[in-house]
Structure 1
Amino acid sequence: MIATYKYPVHYLTINSETEVAYIDEGQGDQTLLFIHGLATYIPSWYPMVDHLQSKYRCVAIDLPGYGRSSKGDYPANMSYYAHVLGQLIDSLSLKNVVLVGHSMGAQVAVSTVLNLPNQFEKLILLAPAGFETFIDEHASLLKATAVTETFLKATEAQIRASWAMNFYQMPESVEFMIQDRINMKEASDFEAYCQSVARGVHGMLDQPIADRLGEIRQKTLVVYGEEDALIPNRYLNPGLTTKSVAESGTSQIPDAVLKFIPACGHFISFDKPAEINEIVDSFLTN
């Protein structure tokens, strides 16, 4: 099953075993490179690309193992994805790049700027993973539950419940993405996709960024939904709040601004598209 995208899809060969899909829309002095979160794909950025392409070049990638990119036995950790982004930037000769990452994609974005500290001037982190930390016991528990089999066996009801957790009030506009996820169960490469999701969880835990946030030299925008039900983990870190996690992480970044969106959950781009577009517009023009 190959998902239908609203924008033309381009492909870049990374190596003999890996091909990544991306969209490339709009023009401008700055290039926004969008990095999706765990278990999502390029369409998660539609509301932002629709709006921002009028002022900026907007490039969104399907990370290897996701969407229309190739599926395979990939490491699916932060350093691997950062390396892939570096190759995409070089191959497309992208200039004045601003990384825009959501959730896991934000942790990938931080890993990328730490690896290439002189290549970026600005960084945008939406509901970033990696600000929240876990004791070893809890990290091991998360790894034990994040296995390929778990995602392979997810029922439609479980898939819908998982998606609903991402929103303060789930809009009807996300139904097409839920259908794409349900239809993937019939795809020949579905197991490889599920493996990438499982390894992504492990990769976030094994390559943390919380203790390196002070090394970020880019002007950084951090945005969380006030009603984020996924960050922090309510079961493993019951004493934390989204506000406390957001403030703790952002305070370590030397040049960062933190914004909260009321009545908004984790999947910011679809939960409050007008609000996030206004915040990003303001950050990029100031």
Structure 2
Amino acid sequence: MSSPTQTEPIRQVIGPYGFPERRVALADSLEIAYVDAGQGSNTLIFIHGLSSYVRAWERTLPELSRSSRCLALDLPGYGKSSKGHYPGTMDFYAEVLHQFIQKLHLKNVTLVGHSMGGQIAVTLALKYPADAQKLVLTSPAGFETFTVPEREQLRAFYTVASIRHTPEAQVRANHKYNFYRMPPAVDLWITERLRMMQCDDFGLYALTVVKSMAGMLDGPIFERLPQVQQPTLVVFGAEDFLIPNRALHPQLTTAQVAAAGMARLPHAQQVLLPEAGHFAHYEQAAEFNRLVAAFVR
């Protein structure tokens, strides 16, 4: 028997992010929740991936905010940001970030995007090149390409109903797939995800995830990578279980996907971190932070 839905919204069941939390209103009644830490001449904007939130950066912000201003946001529909019927396209998220950068008058910006956030970062860099001086793409979506039938398969896999009714054991397994060795700290993410599932706006969150998945499939970047003019740092975990998609591309390796994307980027450097999965920046935080700090400098 399922537990009764709570009347409180998702943003109230997620605990503090550990850094000064702010909110900013953008066009179309969007309200973006973000953390703002540190200061410096460089500004880093951290963009999370599918089904994720600001916590994805909790091992990155403390170190990098020592030398740069660091802002990590919850994308619309995620975390503590407003929920609604959002398009979920890569262009939509790029537009939101553009508004965010303009509204806060941010300068000398490096976009740091994880997974879907990496695909959004590239989309933004192509659409508004003046918004971003540099890009850091960690386990970026969009380097792996899919045929039309494969895209339809992936689209069918994510439904609002399946997300709303994911059993607890599957929620735990889904988190584990993101890591080479899942750190104990991720237990809090699982706890918060299970709490979120009882909230009255979880249906809107589930819809956001479904639309974001479709948005990634419908907004490919692979063919457009040669147009990226910003210096780019690409980081993958050598043991990424999610890229490439094991079910659709069992013959591919993470290193091959990374190399294919790298070959198309005009001004890029790439690092493959050992003993790290899809959340390479989290599992190998010390090395990731060192790489980013040097790259931004």
> What TM-score comes out, normalization by structure 1 length?
0.98
How far 1:270 moved relative to its partner?
A: 2.1
**1:19 alignment partner in structure 2:** 31
Q: Paired residue for 1:164, among 145, 164, 176?
A: 176
Q: By how many angstroms is 1:119 displaced?
A: 2.9
How far is 1:16 from its partner?
4.5
Q: Displacement of 1:205 after TM fit?
A: 0.2
Among 168, 178, 190, the residue aligned to 2:190? 178
In the TM superposition, residue 120 of structure 1 has moved relative to its aligned partner by 2.0
Q: Please give the alpha-carbon distance, in whole angstroms, between the structure 2 residues aligned to 1:62 and 1:18.
A: 12
- Written as runs of structure 1 = structure 2, the 5 A alignment for 1:92-131 is 92-131=104-143
Structure 2 partner of 1:248: 260
What pairs up with 1:127-146 in 2 under 5 angstroms?
A: 127-146=139-158
CA distance in 1, matches of 2:201, 2:58: 25
Shift of residue 175 of structure 1? 1.0
Query: By how many angstroms is 1:118 displaced?
Result: 2.9
Look up the match of 2:97. 85
Which residue is 1:265 aligned to?
Answer: 277
- Aligned residue for 2:26, secondary structure, equals strand
**Superposed structure 1 runs of 4+ greater than 3 Å apart:** none
Q: Which whole-Å deviations, capped at 9, do the CAs of 1:64-84 have from their partners, x for residues lacking one?
A: 000000100000110000000
| C-alpha separation in 1, matches of 2:95 and 2:28 | 16
Amino acid in structure 1 at the alignment position of 2:256 = S
Q: Which runs of 5+ in 2 are unaligned?
A: 1-9
Quick check: 63-72 or 12-21, which moved more? 12-21
* Equivalent in the alignment of 1:214: 226
* Structure 1, unpaired ranges of 5+: none
State the match for 1:154 in structure 2: 166
Give the count of matched residue pairs.
285
Match of 2:15 among 4, 9, 23: 4
TM, length-normalised to structure 2: 0.94
Supply the distance in 1 between the matched residues of 2:167 and 2:239 (Cα, whole angstroms).
26
Question: 2: distance between equivalents of 1:218 and 1:260?
Answer: 20
Instruction: Give the superposition deviation at 1:268.
Output: 1.8
Q: Say which SS state the counterpart of residue 118 (structure 1) adopts.
A: helix
